Amino acid sequence: MAVYERTYSRYQGPLTSTSTRFLILPKYAFREVFASKWMLAFLVLCFVFPLWCCAVIYLSNNADFLALFPNLDITQFLKIDADFFFTFLQVQAWYAFFLSLFIGPGLVSRDLSNNGLPLYLSRPFSRVEYVVGKTTVLAIVLSAITWVVGLLLVTMQASFVGWGWLADNLRLVFGMFVGSWIWILTLSLMSLAISAWVRWRPVAAFAMFLVLLGGLFFGSTINLLFRTEVGDLLNLIKVIFVLWASLLGVDSGLETSVFSASVVLLLYWGGFLYMLNRKIRAYEVVS
Amino acid sequence: MSATHMTEASPAGGVDWGLVGRQIVGILRMELRNQLFSRRAFALYFLAFAPVGIMALWAASPVPDKLALSGPIDASRVYAFVFQGYLSTSIFLSCLILFMSLFRGEILEKSLHYYFLSPIRREVLVAGKYVAALIAVTGVFAVGTTTLYLLTMSPWGLGELGRYLFSGPGLGHLITYVSIAVLACIGYGAIFQLAGQLFKNPVSVAVLLWAWEFINPFLPSLLKKLSVIFYLNSLLPVPVAAGAFAIQADPIPAWVSVPGVLLLTAAVLALAGWRARNMEISYGSDD
Amino acid sequence: MANETQTSTVGFDPEGPLPDGEAVVFDNVSKFYGEVLGINRVSLRLGPGITGLVGPNGSGKSTLMNLMTGLLHPTEGEIRVLGAPTNRPEQLFHHVGYLTQFDSFPATLSGYQFVYSYLRVHGHGHADADRLAWQAIDRVGLREAAERKMGGYSKGMRQRIRMAQALAHGPRVMVLDEPLNGLDPMARSEVIDIFKALAEDGCHVIISSHILHEVDMISDRVLLLSGGYVVAEGGVNDVREEMHERPIQVLLRCNKATEVAGALFAQEVAVEVSLHDDRQGVMVRTANAGDFYRFMNQLVLDKSLDIETISVADSDVRAVYAYLIENEGEGL
């Protein structure tokens, strides 16, 4: 019997810290995401409305501009308050949704198609880290067009009217930050869950579209047929708007209660997490 | 090993239609299993029967009274509205999912070559797959349309329903609605099957088509005629108000619209057959 | 030789031309993927028996097979398989079976359903399809697993069930892309026996493989591809003889190895001679095999050599492959 000298020894060099290991996923995902010119063009488009808001804030605080309309209470149109930022969030929410349509569908589906999951999960890298890593990809991009730019607008307004305004509107800051994160988490979980189940990217994108539009359609139909507002609970966009309105302290114009909206949102999250739990595995169960 | 070698040429030198028939039966066996009993079928059943569930709740609730509907004749207006939504959403999306995946889905699963390595004309393959999907989708939606209709008319009791169906216009309306549903499946099915063959990303085409069909009421008369939904709407036994900004156009008589949709289908299927004859198998990165 | 003309006839009696209806014929066939070359100006005529396609990745083996079975269409030229054009599947696949490189299948089917269902698509009735399916499944030794879902099969089992599907309808031309992939040694041996049996029945069996010694063992002839060109074809030994300008290696074990080495150098019949450590053998590289063997005959008589072994060390496909493909820049 041949006995060979043992020459293999395990890697003993430095390892990425366990706390930041999940960041490896966005590092490589971003390269792919930003390789698309369409994606870059759309990302630029996402900042058009914030620029417009920037201009409005500037003009609303510009005495020379206001003096051009002596007979008109222009401040009524250029009022910078919670409603203004609610509108800002509503518009950016759609941009965030379309951005996640670009980025989200390929996040997990590619790994599943290429049998990449066993490769990730056979390393000291857990399923949770995998999901967090993939979520981070969307979270970073969506943050840039929602709360980051939103807080910059708040800061701009505060710098014009005095920092006292900021102290008076701390709820706005909190609401914008938390509200944005609610939407970012919802979109990220939805994208990942659908991407994990639908391996064909265009279909995954379409499925995300359907989750939103299907809820809207069925919700509206129920409202019409039953003469009720309960259908709004199926409409994810309306659920989010109710929560944002509550966080920012404005009137959403909807009858749905914050409690029921919260419960519905948690159900959506639970559903997405269940879908992820079923698919993000190092092995496939064949029955 | 021995096998009976069969050729398509009959002793007379023509096509052996018996063999072609057996091959189509072979395709139907495979495809019907795929369309009706696979994971993909969940979308079909959901889209077909979720509205039925909502309508069942409606029929069982006191809402019809609240809507001041006096009986099935009044309810037929409700049904016209419900059916239009059913047509433009459930039937449209189901056709999209089923027919588009006939070829594109198999390319993604890398299993189309098994068909291409069988001794069948590609045109027969196109026809077999189309017929299989058509049987699945029309079967499901004929049941869905009928159940929806009966549920809408049912709140006033079985006696009233029976009188409306057999002594009134009910049965005629029901047959017309089912025929429209079948005609929609025939038309949309052919278009989506071809899109699945022609485009790597047919979902974009589908979204565009959906948008085009959706804005149909607001299009000028000439452009309206370049859609499927216009011809289908022309057949509705109870017209539906198109909305405040809709542009009115004279409905197309049935003797024009039905052959029109069938001719369009035949032309699209001929193109699909030609495309299939020229298709090559090169499973790229369609994910 | 392939680099002189791309047209040749492989695998049947050269005295009588094989009619088109009995051969796989490539007539000046080229395939381009956009600007990328698949195969270029290939003319071939493959007869019954086992033909091995050998070449590195990207050499055009799969392209050749896909063209042969109509999964790809040639950019130029024409292909006929037993007289049937490849763009007529309704004619072609009554007598052609193809085991592709795609390790995929309709996911929800069992092995039996997979073979049976496609036999139904071929046009067989239930009883016929059932009988043929079980025959094919038995032939690849998968009866026990036939009722299980294919999603749970190992790679070797998937390979075997796909092979069963390809040969279930009794084709006269079997095209097999890397058919031994994923098979354990026992299964390999069984599958190779199937190929040999098919060839003995008069089938055209066309096999591609990277496992060179297996191609060498099972093939009646080989077709070597590189960069989209057929660089050599014929029996392994025929190809070797065609390469007379190239040195061959001969292993010689005898009692006077040192003297043999000296004599070979003196007569300039060897390009290189290396003496074995035990001084009981030499490895000779010679550019002219004929001169070498004539000289050796004389040497045996003159020196009363006691020869234990004399064998050509590189007449297998691997050597031919190495000469023609790996070193093609040097001489081809």
Residue-range domain boundaries for chain C: 7-236, 243-331
Q: Does C86 touch chain B (CB under 8 A)?
A: no
Return the top range by mean pLDDT from B54-63, B124-133, C250-259, C285-294.
B124-133
Do residues C284 and C307 touch, judged by C-beta distance below 8 A?
no
Chain A partners within 8 Å of C109 (Cβ): none
pLDDT tops 70 at residue A121: yes
Could you tell me which residues are beta bridge partners of residue B32? none
Phi, psi (5° rounding) for residue C207? -125, 135
DSSP B191-210: HHHHHHHH-SSHHHHHHHHH
A202·B201 Cβ contact <8 A: yes
Render the burial of A177-187: b for 16+ CB within 10 Å, e for the rest. Answer: bebbebbbbbb
pLDDT tops 90 at residue B24: yes
Residue B199, both tokens:
């485009």
Interface residues of chain A, partner chain B, Cβ below 8 Å: 106, 109-110, 113, 199-203, 205-206, 209-210, 217-218, 221-222, 224-227
Min Cα separation C19/chain B (Å): 21
Chain A partners within 8 Å of B89 (Cβ): 217
A227·B67 Cβ contact <8 A: yes
pLDDT tops 60 at residue A235: yes
CA B277 to chain centre: 24
Do residues B60 and B156 touch, judged by C-beta distance below 8 A?
no
Phi, psi (5° rounding) for residue B234? -60, -25
Q: Does C101 touch chain B (CB under 8 A)?
A: no
pLDDT tops 70 at residue A220: yes
Parallel/antiparallel/unpaired status of strands C221-226 and C49-54:
parallel
Planar angle of CA C328, C329, C332, nearest 5 degrees: 55
Return the top range by mean pLDDT from B62-71, B120-129, C43-52.
B120-129
Q: How many CA atoms within 13 Å lie on the side-chain side of B206?
A: 33
Least confident of B44-58, C87-101, C313-327: C313-327
Do residues C180 and C143 touch, judged by C-beta distance below 8 A?
no
DSSP C173-206: EEEEESTTTT--HHHHHHHHHHHHHHHHTT-EEE
Other CB atoms closer than 10 Å to residue C205's CB: what's the count?
Answer: 27
Instruction: Count Cβ–Cβ pairs < 8 Å, chain B vs chain C.
Output: 115
Where residue B28 falls (left for φ over 0; alpha for ψ -120 to 50; beta otherwise) is: alpha
Could you give the C-alpha distances from B80 to A213, B101, B233, B237, B241, in angstroms and in order? 21, 30, 10, 8, 10
C105·B114 Cβ contact <8 A: yes
Fold type of domain C243-331: Alpha-Beta Plaits (3.30.70)
Chain B partners within 8 Å of C177 (Cβ): none
pLDDT tops 70 at residue A86: yes
Residue B245, both tokens:
């900004």
Min Cα separation B96/chain C (Å): 21
**Amino acid of residue A67:** A
Do residues C114 and C161 touch, judged by C-beta distance below 8 A?
yes
Could you tell me which residues are beta bridge partners of residue C250? C284, C312
Other CB atoms closer than 10 Å to residue B278's CB: what's the count?
Answer: 10
A225·B54 Cβ contact <8 A: yes
How sure is the predictor about C286, in pLDDT bands with cuts at 50, 70 and 90? confident
Min Cα separation A209/chain B (Å): 10
Residue of A113, A199, A283, A286 to mutate, interface with C, max C Cβ within 10 Å: A286
Distance CA C90, CA B228 (A): 35
Chain C partners within 8 Å of A285 (Cβ): none
Q: What is the mean pLDDT of chain C?
A: 83
C102·B113 Cβ contact <8 A: yes
DSSP chain A: ------------S----TTTGGGHHHHHHHHHHTT-HHHHHHHHHTTHHHHHHHHHHHHHT-HHHHHT-TTS-GGGTS--SHHHHHHHHHHHHHHHHHHHHHHTHHHHHHHHHTT-HHHHHTSS--HHHHHHHHHHHHHHHHHHHTHHHHHHHHHHHHHHH-HHHHHHTHHHHHHHHHHHHHHHHHHHHHHHHHHHH--SHHHHHHHHHHHHHHHHHHHHHHHHHHTSSGGGGG-HHHHHHHHHHHHHT---S----HHHHHHHHHHHHHHHHHHHHHH--SS----
Residue in chain C lying closest to A285 (CA): C152
Distance CA C42, CA C30 (A): 7
pLDDT tens digit string along C202-234? 999 999 976 666 777 788 888 888 888 888 887
* Burial of B255 from C-beta contacts in 10 A (0-12 / 13-18 / 19+): exposed
Could you tell me which residues are beta bridge partners of residue C99? C176
Sign of the C-alpha dihedral, residues C278, C284, C290, C292? Answer: negative
Chain C partners within 8 Å of A284 (Cβ): 151
pLDDT tens digit string along A10-69? 778 888 888 888 888 888 888 888 888 888 999 999 999 999 999 999 888 887 777 777
B204·A202 Cβ contact <8 A: yes
Min Cα separation A284/chain C (Å): 9
pLDDT at position C11 is: 46
B58·A218 Cβ contact <8 A: no
Please name the chains neighbouring C, where neighbouring means 3+ C-beta pairs under 8 angstroms: A, B
Chain C partners within 8 Å of A287 (Cβ): 149
How sure is the predictor about A271, in pLDDT bands with cuts at 50, 70 and 90? very high
pLDDT tops 90 at residue C239: no
Chain B partners within 8 Å of C166 (Cβ): 117
**Amino acid of residue B235:** L
pLDDT (average), residues B217-229: 85
Query: For a pLDDT cut of 70, what percent of chain C falls above it?
Result: 83
Site of tokens 């290696």: C249
pLDDT (average), residues A202-227: 85
B203·A217 Cβ contact <8 A: no
* Closest among A284, A98, A95, A50 to A205, alpha carbons compared: A98
Distance CA C213, CA C235 (A): 14
Q: Does C152 touch chain A (CB under 8 A)?
A: yes
Q: Does C34 touch chain B (CB under 8 A)?
A: no
pLDDT tops 60 at residue B238: yes
Could you give the C-alpha distances from B249 to B46, B220, B221, B235, in angstroms and in order? 34, 8, 6, 14
pLDDT at position A92 is: 95
B117·C136 Cβ contact <8 A: no
Distance CA A148, CA B37 (A): 47
* Closest among B273, B279, B269 to B121, alpha carbons compared: B273
B114·C118 Cβ contact <8 A: yes
Parallel/antiparallel/unpaired status of strands C204-208 and C173-177:
parallel
C123·B34 Cβ contact <8 A: no
Chain A partners within 8 Å of C152 (Cβ): 286
Site of tokens 């914008």: A176
pLDDT tops 90 at residue A161: no
Distance CA C206, CA C229 (A): 17
Residue C173, both tokens:
């031309």
pLDDT at position C246 is: 63
pLDDT (average), residues B128-155: 95
More confident residue, A191 or A67: A191
C89·B119 Cβ contact <8 A: yes
Q: How many CA atoms within 13 Å lie on the side-chain side of B12?
A: 4
Could you give the C-alpha distances from C276 to A16, C251, C257, C258, C292, in angstroms and in order? 52, 10, 8, 9, 19
Q: Do domains C7-236 and C243-331 have the same CATH topology?
A: no
Q: Does C124 touch chain B (CB under 8 A)?
A: yes
Residue of C66, C87, C121, C161 to mutate, interface with B, max B Cβ within 10 Å: C121
* Closest among B113, B118, B135 to B33, alpha carbons compared: B135
Query: For a pLDDT cut of 70, what percent of chain B falls above it?
Result: 92
Min Cα separation A120/chain C (Å): 22
Instruction: List, in order, residues 6 or more apart from C143 with CB less than 8 Å away.
Output: C134, C137
Min Cα separation C107/chain A (Å): 10
Order of strands across the sheet that contains C173-177: C96-99, C173-177, C204-208, C49-54, C221-226, C229-234
A206·B50 Cβ contact <8 A: no
pLDDT tops 80 at residue C77: yes
pLDDT at position B65 is: 65
pLDDT tops 70 at residue C2: no
pLDDT at position B287 is: 42
pLDDT tops 90 at residue A266: yes
Q: Does C210 touch chain A (CB under 8 A)?
A: no
Chain B partners within 8 Å of A221 (Cβ): 51, 54, 82, 85
C121·B23 Cβ contact <8 A: yes
Q: State the angle between helix axes of A82-103 and A236-248 in degrees (0 to 180), rounded to the nearest 10.
A: 140
C123·B22 Cβ contact <8 A: yes
Min Cα separation B22/chain C (Å): 5
Phi, psi (5° rounding) for residue B239? -65, 150
pLDDT at position C254 is: 86
Please name the chains neighbouring B, where neighbouring means 3+ C-beta pairs under 8 angstroms: A, C
Residue of B83, B88, B203 to mutate, interface with A, max A Cβ within 10 Å: B203
Q: Which CATH number applies to C7-236?
A: 3.40.50.300
B203·A227 Cβ contact <8 A: no
Do residues C6 and C43 touch, judged by C-beta distance below 8 A?
yes
Residue in chain C lying closest to B110 (CA): C104
Parallel/antiparallel/unpaired status of strands C272-275 and C229-234:
unpaired
Least confident of A20-34, A207-221, B107-121, C315-329: C315-329
Distance CA B172, CA B178 (A): 10
Residue in chain B lying closest to A210 (CA): B93
pLDDT (average), residues B153-177: 91
Min Cα separation B116/chain C (Å): 7
Q: Does C158 touch chain B (CB under 8 A)?
A: no
pLDDT tops 70 at residue B174: yes
Instruction: List, in order, residues 6 or more apart from B57 with CB less than 8 Å away.
Output: A226
Chain C partners within 8 Å of B278 (Cβ): 73
Domain boundaries, chain A: 21-63+77-279
B287·A217 Cβ contact <8 A: no
pLDDT at position C17 is: 63
pLDDT at position C223 is: 87
**Which of B63, B105, B286 has the CB atom closest to A227's CB atom?**
B63
**Which of B1, B111, B120 has the CB atom closest to C139's CB atom?**
B1
Parallel/antiparallel/unpaired status of strands C36-46 and C204-208:
unpaired
The DSSP element (H or E) to which C54 belongs, if any, is strand C49-54
